Amino acid sequence: MSKKMLGNLMKEAQKLQEKMVRMQEEASQKTAEASAGGGMVTVRANGSGQLISITIDKEVVNPDDVDMLQDLVVAACNEAIKRAHELVNEEMSKMTGGLQIPGMPDISNFFGK
């Protein structure tokens, strides 16, 4: 491979990496929502995997059954983060055609997984 071809390939890889970084920044602005308990607990997370809001229906708040409320919150949080993760993966796949490209951001670690 000639130096010119290698240089062009490196420039293209750098452009792709810059696009992916921008896409990650844009994804952090997108949100995913999930609920548990038939909508009694609703959670929103952003594309960075951060929780944005938790809404709890007052009917599910029972001081005698705190365990159920805790389980619903955990289930809704996990699902919202999973959906946000899938949103980022989908955007990355569009950009890379599903290929894992060496040197590109590893989104499997984007959410601490």
pLDDT tens series, the chain, 113 aa = 688 888 888 888 888 888 878 887 887 788 999 999 999 999 999 988 899 999 999 999 999 999 999 999 999 999 999 999 888 888 777 776 756 555 544 444 444 44
Kindly list the domain boundaries of the chain, sorted by start residue.
55-97
The residue among 101, 91, 113 whose CA lies nearest residue 26 is: 91
- In angstroms, the Cα distances linking 98 to 31, 50, 101 are 22, 25, 9
Cα gap 39→102, rounded to integer Å: 41
